[in-house]
Homo-oligomer: A and B are copies of this chain.
């Protein structure tokens, strides 16, 4: 089981599988590359929602109910922000605020997001490496029918994903560079795992920022390390978040097959849930190896179970 793995993760779903992988892989064998397309500024603070979700989850600090923010959180700052007329659609817990404050003030001093993340992980006792996909700013913009273009958190949190999606744009994608350590981690990996995160707004930004989609055949990866993806869609619905709604609004029937089609051409192996077993022939027709598992990660045991399945599958591909 001494595989070197790079996992690409968005928020909650990605954090769960990353957590499972961290339970069974030693720190030197797992690097988690996290989406930062959701990053935004709120009350003058630089906020990295997916990075925080992944870090808090691995540190055992995550709120298990909400899927975001900290466990045992207090809300005294937010209550008082509201009293002063401030927007509170993005909830800032008191403990969580420390993260945003320290990150923001260090960014202002010129430290990179990846260096800050490294230090935070150390402070939180996280031994596995977590790297933001880029130290550049590449915000995801959601184009909607009703409200035009919206920054991601405006769409996701403020508008609660209600506007109808027309498309997505990653601002500055042309000039964005992977963060320090990202390329080396991918080149050194035996396999890359695309976590069951939202393909449109969690995985696509990471693939774009790391050039993993467009440059795989051009030899960006120095050896034939397989890329394995997991479907965030189970039985036509997303476990959490707006992925299924996005597929529908873009005119695509949401399914594990639809996810696999999106990854066609650069994903070698595809893992999806047993309830979607009937889709296997069509997914295999896309040129992917397949594995059917119980992919729902209800609890910490579920995370570890799925992580073990992923490693087993990778062994069959090597």
Contacts and interface: CB of A to CB of B under 8 A. Distances in A.
Interface of A: 43-45, 73-74, 76-81, 83-86, 93-95, 97-99, 101-102, 104-105, 108, 119-120, 123-124
A95 B119 contact: no
A81 to B, nearest CB: 4
Contacts of A44: 44, 101, 104-105, 108
B84 A98 contact: yes
B84 A123 contact: yes
Number of copies: 2
A80 B94 CA distance: 9
Contacts of A45: 101
Nearest to A93: B76
Contact of A94 (B43, B77, B124): B77
A81 B98 contact: yes
Contacts of A83: 98, 123-124
Nearest to A73: B76
A43 B84 contact: no
Contacts of A99: 80, 84
18 contacts: A43-B105, A44-B104, A44-B105, A44-B108, A73-B76, A76-B76, A76-B94, A76-B95, A77-B77, A77-B94, A79-B95, A81-B98, A83-B123, A83-B124, A84-B98, A84-B99, A86-B98, A86-B105
Contacts of A108: 44
B77 A95 contact: yes
Nearest to A92: B101
B76 A102 contact: no
Nearest to A86: B102
A31 to B, nearest CB: 22
Contact of A102 (B84, B94, B119): B84
Nearest to A124: B83
A85 B123 contact: yes
A84 B81 CA distance: 23
Given A77-B77, A120-B84, A43 B95 contact: no
A83 B99 CA distance: 10
A297 B267 CA distance: 75
B81 A119 contact: no
B74 A94 contact: yes
Nearest to A72: B76
Contacts of A43: 101-102, 104-105
Contacts of A98: 76-81, 83-84, 86
A92 to B, nearest CB: 8
